[in-house]
Amino acid sequence: MKSIFGILFLIVIISIMPFVFAEIPYDEKVKQKIKIQVGTDGNAHVIHDITMFDGTAKLEFIDGTRSNFDILCILSCPYEFDNPEQVFEESEYMVFGQYPAFQDDLTVEYDLENVLELNNGLWKWEFRSKENPGFYFGDTIDLVFFDGTALDVTFKEGFACKGSCNYTLEFFDDDPKLSVTSFDHGVTIQTNDKISNFVSTENSISFDTAKEKQLMVVNIPREILDVETFKVYITESGVTPDEEDRLKKQIIEKVETIGVVLRSNIVGTVLISNLSIPDVKSSEGGGCLIATAAYGSEMAPQVQLLREIRDNTVLQTQSGTSFMTAFNTFYYTFSPAIADYERENPVFKEAVKVGLTPLLTSLTILNYVDIDTEQEMLGYGIGIIMLNIGMYFVAPAVVVIALKKRIR
């Protein structure tokens, strides 16, 4: 009799405890809410909040390299991974069991490693899932791009997919040095590639892109941009834009600026028109007034060389930006007068051209070196400054002293 009861008891235990692992109905999925906390280190943290279920329930993991599995529940949480070795990192899903249902506070958490790729300051995640998770970001991220659409998350916890979630998620890194360049009149451009040949007039700004589908956020002070009237064009370099060249834009309004979100469809020149810019001196960084007057046009090769070195090399580092700020403060105390005199006196204009030749020659060095760090910028910058001091001051002084000795 005892043996019969023993056998019955064993059957009951076997039928209850391992029930979840026997003939698992994989077509039954958990009811859940998925939260994905997106970091600025290439990783993400996934949280599955699971509601009450009765029997067995299947939980599919988000695709990616998974690690740091954790399960939170008050009572026992029997589960099984989908591989014989029961290794989480090699699993695509897991199966829970609670029979009968007795708790609804199950939470599964894990990390996704290196699911985002950083390129020129822009993080990108090609996200694919049948679920509809919510994405959440840290306080340092206020603008994200969801399949190309800009979403301002400054005052929001995040956003959620609707239906199957097969989208491209992008956002700029929280280090502005990787993607932000400052220009005249309070304009900044955040982008995932180079911006060159920035030019401003009293009613427009223009600049050149570096690649197709280049993402740009042009932040323009409210006092110089009217959201109702401004227009954006993109054309091949040197081509006058028309209505067919209008570029699709999106507006992100901030307290002091308007963010104009653009994505280039060609490599070319972006023109933002119908602005109202006071006290325009010339192009970005203050403009090359003396060189422009000497060579007759902002499009002259010598002027473009100066502008490209400034935009693409000097302003790409913090030390270079600080130098340009200090230099412009000094430069504009005298350059407008010299530029005016050049236009009035052709002989003086030619003399300035001759005087600029050593400077232009020395600056071409920067076109043949890679400057990736602040230390390299400082090294090359100090070297070129010393070279120009030698050409403009030391060499003439040596010549004058030598001539005086000969005359004597």
Per-residue pLDDT, 284: 42
Is the per-residue pLDDT at 404 higher than 90?
no
Domain boundaries, the chain: 176-280, 285-408
Q: Are 262 and 232 in contact (CB under 8 A)?
A: yes
Q: Are 167 and 146 in contact (CB under 8 A)?
A: yes
Per-residue pLDDT, 260: 96
Per-residue confidence at 287, pLDDT binned at 50, 70, 90? low
Cα gap 116→128, rounded to integer Å: 13
- Tell me which H or E stretch contains 374: helix 374-389
Per-residue confidence at 279, pLDDT binned at 50, 70, 90? low
Rg (CA), the chain: 32
What SS3 class is residue 318?
helix
Q: What is the pLDDT of residues 190-208, one digit of tens each?
A: 999 999 989 888 889 999 9
Helix 346-363 to helix 301-312 angle (10° resolution) is 40
Q: Where is average pLDDT lowest: 1-15, 96-110, 194-208, 383-397?
A: 1-15
Pull the structure tokens for residue 284. 């970005």
CA-based torsion, 314, 319, 323, 324: positive or negative: positive
Pull the structure tokens for residue 224. 């110089």
Which residue reads 């005359």 in tokens?
Answer: 407
Is the per-residue pLDDT at 283 higher than 80?
no
Q: What's the chain's average pLDDT?
A: 83
Q: What is the pLDDT of residues 236-265, one digit of tens each?
A: 988 889 999 999 999 998 888 899 999 999
Read off the pTM. 0.63
Q: What is the pLDDT of residues 123-173, one digit of tens each?
A: 999 999 988 899 999 888 999 999 889 999 988 888 888 777 899 999 999
Per-residue pLDDT, 184: 80
CB neighbourhood size of 204 (10 A): 17
